[in-house]
């Protein structure tokens, strides 16, 4: 597990706090048998890969390894790995995640760095797309955790699955089963919203196939 972790050029990638060379150690700690190490690693990965709702270059590179941890029976408390992945699936660029930022101030600051707000937003969009693509390769692995004992895990995963309308046919059955048994109101609402989104997508895809 995590055999290829050191093949990633982490030194050339960035997360919320700068250089991403600390990510491999945190990923390995997330698979530790020591509960304190796992909890610390989870907190640290949330902070650097999904800081205040924003994703980064290192986030996309970390996702495949998070899926490795999720798939391994050796990983304890896999539900929290699923929670991290599902949370990342809903990440945005920093500027979009902070819609209350002073646009003029940012234009001036970026100009001093030889960039523009438009260029930065485009760069962030590309990062978000790379994260979404990485998540999409394994998003079906999140579906089993719709039955997790933690309500917030279930709700976050339900919202994450709605981000993948191209996988609607594959994801809908798990959401439908989860919706029939869910008793927590806010989780049920998240499931229903995701079902609505994916059913609409499935309908469009079915209509396209009939043409």
Residues of the chain with pLDDT under 70: 99-101
- Domain residue limits at 159: 141-211
Domain shared by 38 and 88, yes or no: yes
CB 195 within 8 A of CB 189: no
Among 103, 121, 137, the domain-final residue is 137
Place of tokens 């020591």: 34
Total domains, the chain: 2
Residue 19 DSSP symbol: E
Domain shared by 154 and 199, yes or no: yes
Residue 99 has a pLDDT of 59
Domain shared by 151 and 90, yes or no: no
Q: Which two tokens stand for residue 60?
A: 């996309």
Task: Note the pTM of the prediction, 2 decimals.
Answer: 0.92
Domain shared by 121 and 49, yes or no: yes
Domain shared by 106 and 4, yes or no: yes
Among 137, 171, 194, the domain-final residue is 137
Q: Where are the alpha helices (DSSP H) in 72-150?
A: 78-89, 94-97, 103-112, 117-136
Give the rounded distance of the alpha carbon of 49 from its chain centre. Answer: 9
Among 137, 166, 188, the domain-final residue is 137
As a whole number of angstroms, the distance between CA 140 and CA 136 comes to 8
Domain shared by 5 and 60, yes or no: yes
Domain shared by 196 and 98, yes or no: no
Q: How big is the chain, counted in residues?
A: 211
Here the CATH number for the domain that contains residue 155 is 1.25.10
| pLDDT tens digits along 2-54 | 989 999 999 999 999 999 999 999 999 999 999 999 999 999 999 999 999 99
Residue 120 has a pLDDT of 84
Domain shared by 77 and 177, yes or no: no
Residue 102 has a pLDDT of 75
């Amino acid at each position: 597990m995590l055999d290829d972790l050191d093949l990633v050029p982490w030194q050339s990638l960035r997360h919320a706090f700068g250089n991403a060379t600390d990510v491999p150690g945190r990923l390995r700690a997330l698979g530790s048998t020591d509960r304190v190490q796992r909890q610390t690693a989870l907190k640290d990965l949330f902070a650097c890969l999904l800081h205040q709702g924003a994703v980064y270059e290192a986030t996309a590179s970390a996702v495949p390894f998070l899926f490795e941890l999720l798939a391994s029976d050796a990983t304890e408390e896999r539900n929290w790995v699923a929670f991290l992945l599902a949370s990342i699936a809903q990440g945005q660029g920093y500027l979009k995640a902070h819609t209350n930022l002073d646009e003029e101030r940012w234009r001036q600051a970026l100009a001093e760095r030889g960039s523009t707000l438009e260029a930065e937003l485009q760069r962030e969009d590309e990062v978000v797309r790379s994260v979404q693509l990485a998540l999409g390769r394994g998003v079906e692995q999140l579906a089993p955790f719709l039955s997790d004992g933690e309500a917030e895990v279930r709700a976050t995963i339900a919202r994450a699955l709605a981000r993948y309308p191209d996988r609607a046919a594959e994801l809908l059955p798990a959401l439908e089963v989860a919706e029939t048994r869910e008793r927590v109101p806010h989780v049920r609402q998240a499931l229903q919203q995701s079902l609505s989104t994916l059913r609409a997508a499935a309908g469009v895809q079915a209509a396209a196939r009939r043409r």
